[in-house]
Structure 1
Amino acid sequence: MLQVTGSLTLSAPHAGMHDITGEVVEWLRAQQVRDGLLTLFIRHTSASLLIQENAAPAARRDVERYFARLAPENDGYEHDDEGPDDMPAHLRAALTQVHLSIPVIGGELQLGTWQGIYLFEHRRRPSPRAIAMHLIGE
């Protein structure tokens, strides 16, 4: 059994969902693990990771609008140290995921036909985001 670790540092240009599947696949292929499990973990509290529809941009926009309604800015939050999008970003991250586990079979991520891996940036002025990766397999 082999274990490999790595990290990605990504900067989203703006809030919203950003497809990072290509970067993850590129890293995975360099590891030469045929079968196993890849875990991704974002090391932040105001961004998250999602597996979501990768073909229809309208699906991503609908997800983004849904979370904007669910955790709106300027809703009387006590925590606003970094501005009006601070607490909503934390709430949106809490309601989504900070880690993903994806099976690897035959050297390929076992994502469905219409699935992609997304960095879901919840801040309007994003900073670089670090994603820890752990691959176990053979």
Structure 2
Amino acid sequence: MRQHLSRLAVQTSGEGFTDLTAALNREIASSGLQQGIAQLVALHTSCSLTVNENADPRVLRDLTTYLRALVPQEGVRSLSGEGSLQRYAHDDEGPDDMPAHIRTALTTTSLGLSFERGRLLLGTWQAVYLWEHRARAHQRQLSLHLIGE
């Protein structure tokens, strides 16, 4: 068994999805490992990671629409719809700051994935995405820890 630990820099263009699959496969291939486990971690609290559909872009749009509805940018009110709007107290980096943290908490910041023959073991229509929850572009850092042989 061997280990390989690296960091990947990912530039986002604002809210939405960035496909990481090719970059992850390049990093796995360059490690020399053929089979094992890849642990991927987003080192931020306002973006997340997901394995999802890579063939139909409507899936990613629908996911964004759903999460926006679940976590509105302007604040929260009772699920019954009654009562006044409660604005988020944490808005140090702008109005999308706290909604991004909530969206990250509801999703995930780490993934454990198998790889085989130097490539991620994914289904035909699957890709690994960084899901940016902030409105503006960000440079994101990911940790990739590979354990295998």
TM-score (norm 1): 0.97
Q: 1:81 aligns with which of 87, 92, 96?
A: 92
Q: Compute the displacement of 1:103 (Å).
A: 0.5
**Distance in structure 2 (CA, Å) of the matches to 1:125 and 1:133:** 24
Q: Compute the displacement of 1:106 (Å).
A: 2.3
**Distance in structure 2 (CA, Å) of the matches to 1:14 and 1:86:** 13
Contact kept, 8 Å, 2:14 with 2:138, in 1: the verdict is: no
Which letter maps to 1:3?
Q
Cα deviation code 1:36-64 (max 9, x no counterpart)? 00010000000011101001000000001
Q: Compute the displacement of 1:109 (Å).
A: 0.9
Number of the residue aligned with 2:67: 67
Number of the residue aligned with 1:44: 44
Contact kept, 8 Å, 2:91 with 2:98, in 1: the verdict is: yes
Number of the residue aligned with 2:124: 113
**Distance in structure 2 (CA, Å) of the matches to 1:123 and 1:129:** 11
Cα deviation code 1:74-125 (max 9, x no counterpart)? 1111111111100000000001110001111222211111110001000001
Q: Secondary structure at the match of 2:27?
A: helix
Structure 1: 5+ residue runs without aligned partners? none
Where does structure 1 differ by over 4 angstroms across 4 or more consecutive aligned residues?
none
Q: Which has the larger radius of gyration?
A: 2
Number of the residue aligned with 1:16: 16
CA RMSD of aligned residues (A): 0.8
Map 1:28-39; keep pairs closer than 5 Å.
Answer: 28-39=28-39
Number of the residue aligned with 2:56: 56
Query: How many positions carry a matched residue from both structures?
Result: 138
**Distance in structure 1 (CA, Å) of the matches to 2:35 and 2:24:** 16
- Sequence identity of aligned pairs in percent? 43
Contact kept, 8 Å, 1:17 with 1:64, in 2: the verdict is: no
**Distance in structure 1 (CA, Å) of the matches to 2:49 and 2:9:** 13
**Distance in structure 1 (CA, Å) of the matches to 2:22 and 2:117:** 17
Number of the residue aligned with 1:91: 102
**Distance in structure 2 (CA, Å) of the matches to 1:14 and 1:117:** 17
Contact kept, 8 Å, 1:43 with 1:129, in 2: the verdict is: yes
Number of the residue aligned with 1:103: 114
Q: Compute the displacement of 1:32 (Å).
A: 1.5
Contact kept, 8 Å, 1:37 with 1:135, in 2: the verdict is: yes
Number of the residue aligned with 1:25: 25
Contact kept, 8 Å, 1:38 with 1:101, in 2: the verdict is: yes
TM-score (norm 2): 0.90
